[in-house]
Structure 1
C-alpha cells in the first residue's frame, strides 16, 4: 500500500507536504537552506504549476490531498550503475567476495552468456526496478572491450529510446586503460561508437607506465568529439594508487572544458594528509565531480578470509565538499560478483550512505548527492522541485529524515507527470530462464 491510498491521474493539489529546502525554489525555501519546509504543490497538466509554503487548508473546490507532513522528493538521479552486469549472481556468484574474484567471475560470465538477448533482458529488468523505486535519470557503465561492445551498445541504444520519458538513460564506455598499450586504434574506435550513441567516454585507470600519455589521448579525443568523461578511479586500498591526482593534472594540462566524473576514489583515504590536500586542490581546480559507491566499496574493500575489515573503503566526501568539489553517491553494481545485493533503489542507497559516510550532524543538504549534485554532473535539470518541471515526485508517509532513513523500505508513491506509477517491482523469477537452471539460492 502506498501513501495516497489511490492513484493520481489528473490535476491535483498536494497539501502540507515536507520537502528539503535545498531542492526547492529560493522563493519557497527562504533562509531555511538545509532544513525541511512544509509546502503545498499544485499539479496541472502533468507539471508542477505552483509551489508555496503550506497554507493548511485547501482552496475552495480544488481537488486536494493532505499529506499530513509526509515527505516529498523529486525523482532521483543514479549516476553510476552497471546494468550490463546486473543480476548474474545466481549463475555466477563471487566465491570469496574479493575484487579479484569479481573480475574473474564477470569475465567468465561475459564470455559464456552475454548475448544481446541476455543483456537486454537483464538491463530491462533493472530499469523496471529503478523506475518503480523512483529513479528519473540513470547512467550505466558499459563493458566495451571487443567483441562485447558490438553487442551491448546497440542494446543500450534500443533501451534508451524505449525508456524515453520514463528514465533518462545515459551510457559510458568501460575498459581498462592498459588496453591502450595493446591496441593503438582501440581508443578511436570505441570513441566513435560512444559518439554515435550519444554516450560518455570512460575507462578504469591504473598506475600503468604510460598513464599520463593515455589520459592525454582520452582528454584530447573527448574534446575533439565534444564528449564528457567518466573514470573508474583508484578502487583499491593501496595508497600508491594515485590516478585521481594524474587525472586532475591531465584535465588542467589539456584545458578540458567538458564534464569529468571520477568514481570510487578509495585509495585517497589511505594517503597522508599532505598528499590528500595536494590532490584535492587539483581536483577542485580541474572542476572534477566525484561519485562515491558506499555499498559496493564496503562489500569489496579490505575483505580477507576470517578477518574483520578495518576500514570503510569510501572516499573523502566531506573534505571534497569543503573545497567545493561536487560529490554524489550511487548504486553501482546490483546482484553481480562485485556486489551481491541491491535493487537500484536510491532511497536505500542514501540511507546506507548516511550511515557509512556520516551524512548527518548536520544532515544539511546531503540529499543533493542523489539529486541536484548528481544531476548537474550528468548535465540534467532533474532532481529538484521546480515550477514548470514535470510532476515527477516520490511521496512518503515518513515526515522527516529520521523516519525516512530508519524505514527506507516504508510506504511511497512515485508520480510521473503527475500520475501514480502503478507497475510493481518485477519478480526475480522473470530472470530464471537466463540462469541456466542453477538454483537462485546458490
Structure 2
C-alpha cells in the first residue's frame, strides 16, 4: 500500500483506500457519516470506472494497486452552471472604471464592439476551459452575449469548442441579452435560430423592471414552449427592493404551465425584501419549479459598491430561505477577470470555499457540496456528473484535507484530479498566452 498522491500511477485500475467523501454526493449507498457529513470509504476503480464504494476496510482484497489517502476528502469532478466564458480575461484591455455594475456594462459593451472576433472569443473561451479542467470541473454552462453581429460570431465558436472538449468538459450555452430586446422580432428569430443550430436547447435573457416586463416574459415563454427550450435568466442583480422580476418570472411560469426547467441567477434583491414579501416570492418560486443559482464572489464584488463607503451587505440572494423551501439552490463562478469580476479562475473549490464564508453555509447542514455538484448536474440534464456512483466514471478530485475546516482553510492547490481514473496534468495556462489579444484601456 502506498500513501500520498505523488506516487499515484498513470493507471485506470486501482483502489483508493481511506478516502473521505461527502455522503450527500454518493449515489445509492448507505454510508455512516461523521458530523461533517463525510464518510470514510474505499473506492475501487476498474478501467476508469468506479467498481465499488464501500465503508473503509470492507472491500475484499484484490490484486490491484492500493493507495492510502489517509482520510483525505474526495469529490467528484464538479459542475459550474453559470459562467461567462465569452467575457473572460478581457480585464487587461478593458477595466471597470469604478467597480460598479454600470461600469461593467459599459466596459463590456465597448470591448465587445471593438474586439470580439471569432478568433478573440475562441482564444479566451478555450483559456477558461483549460483553467476549469485543471481545477477539476466536469461541466460548464456559459452565457453567450447575443446581440447583433455577435450572435453569428460567438455561437459557432461555442459549438466548435463543445465538440473539441467532449469527454473532458460537457459545455452548454445560453443566450444573454436584455429583456427589452424581446420586442425585436428579428432579434428573437436570430437568437432562436442560433440556439437551434449551435445551442443546447436553452433560452435566456436579463430581466429587470420595465413596463413591458410581463408581455416580454410571455414572448420568452411562448418561444421556449414552441421550440422545446429550457430557460435560464439573469434576475434582479441589484440592491433595490423594488426589483422583483423574479416574482414576475414565477407568475409567467405558472401562467404558461411551463414544463421545462427554469434557472434564475443572481436574484440579489430578494435578500432585501420585507420578510412577508420574501416569503411570498420564495413560495411562488417553489410552486413554479424554478431553481436558483447564487454567484457569491461576483456579487460580493459588484453589489452595494459606492465610492468611499464601506459596503453594508454581501450582495447574495436569500439562499438559505430558498433551500428551506425545497427550491434547488446552487452556487457558481460567474465572471472571470472581466469588468463584472476582476478576479476568479473558474475554480469551483474556490467558489465553495468563498461561498461558505460569504453565505455562511457552515453551521447550516452538511450537504452544501451538492450546490456545485449534483444539483447543477441535474439542472443541466447531466445525471452522470457531479456524483460518486458505482458504475460511474472515476472522475475525482483528491485532496489531503481530512475535514471541512482543513478543506476551506487552504486553497487545495495540491489537489489531484482524476479523469477516467488517471491523474491529469494540472498545469494552469499562463496569462502571457493572452498577451497578443490585449491592449491598454481605451
> TM-score, length-normalised on structure 1?
0.96
| CA contact 1:173–1:202 (8 Å) conserved in 2 | yes
Instruction: From the superposition, tell whether residues 257 and 144 of structure 1 become closer, same or farther in structure 2 (CA, over 3 Å).
Output: same
Find 1:120's aligned residue among 110, 116, 122: 122
Task: Give the superposition deviation at 1:5.
Answer: 3.6
Residues 272-421 of structure 1: matches in 2 within 5 Å? 272-381=274-383, 382-421=385-424
Q: What are the Cα deviations for residues 417-436 of structure 1, in whole angstroms up to 9, with x where unaligned?
A: 11111141000011011013
Which of 60-69 and 279-288 deviates more?
A: 60-69
| CA contact 1:22–1:33 (8 Å) conserved in 2 | no
Partner Cα separation in structure 1 for residue 164 and residue 143 of structure 2: 18
| Structural RMSD (CA) | 1.7
Which of 13-22 and 401-410 deviates more?
A: 401-410
Task: Give the superposition deviation at 1:12.
Answer: 0.5
| CA contact 2:130–2:429 (8 Å) conserved in 1 | yes
Q: Helix, strand or coil for the counterpart of 1:29? A: coil
5+ long unaligned stretches in structure 1: none
Q: Helix, strand or coil for the counterpart of 2:179? A: coil
Match of 1:193 in 2: 194
Q: What are the Cα deviations for residues 354-382 of structure 1, in whole angstroms up to 9, with x where unaligned?
A: 00001111441000000011111111111
Find 1:168's aligned residue among 167, 170, 194: 170
Partner Cα separation in structure 2 for residue 206 and residue 407 of structure 1: 38
Partner Cα separation in structure 2 for residue 285 and residue 31 of structure 1: 33
Q: What are the Cα deviations for residues 15-54 of structure 1, in whole angstroms up to 9, with x where unaligned?
A: 0100001011343325779610001111111111111110
Match of 1:258 in 2: 260
Q: What are the Cα deviations for residues 217-259 of structure 1, in whole angstroms up to 9, with x where unaligned?
A: 1111111111110000000001111000000010011000110
Partner Cα separation in structure 1 for residue 426 and residue 364 of structure 2: 36
1:19 corresponds to 2:21: yes
Residues 148-227 of structure 1: matches in 2 within 5 Å? 148-181=150-183, 183-199=184-200, 200-227=202-229
| CA contact 1:178–1:206 (8 Å) conserved in 2 | no
Find 1:424's aligned residue among 422, 427, 430: 427
Task: Give the superposition deviation at 1:392.
Answer: 0.4
| CA contact 1:350–1:370 (8 Å) conserved in 2 | yes
| CA contact 2:268–2:316 (8 Å) conserved in 1 | yes
Q: What are the Cα deviations for residues 284-321 of structure 1, in whole angstroms up to 9, with x where unaligned?
A: 00110000000000100010111000111100010001
Match of 2:89 in 1: 87
Instruction: From the superposition, tell whether residues 285 and 32 of structure 1 become closer, same or farther in structure 2 (CA, over 3 Å).
Output: farther
1:433 corresponds to 2:436: yes
Task: Give the superposition deviation at 1:389.
Answer: 0.7
Partner Cα separation in structure 1 for residue 310 and residue 222 of structure 2: 44
| CA contact 1:404–1:410 (8 Å) conserved in 2 | no
| CA contact 2:148–2:187 (8 Å) conserved in 1 | no
Aligned residues: 437
| CA contact 2:146–2:176 (8 Å) conserved in 1 | yes
| CA contact 2:356–2:362 (8 Å) conserved in 1 | yes
Partner Cα separation in structure 2 for residue 178 and residue 61 of structure 1: 64
> TM-score, length-normalised on structure 2?
0.96
| CA contact 2:33–2:40 (8 Å) conserved in 1 | no
Q: Helix, strand or coil for the counterpart of 2:29? A: helix
Q: Helix, strand or coil for the counterpart of 1:178? A: helix
Task: Give the superposition deviation at 1:64.
Answer: 0.8
| CA contact 1:21–1:33 (8 Å) conserved in 2 | no
Which of 105-114 and 361-370 deviates more?
A: 361-370
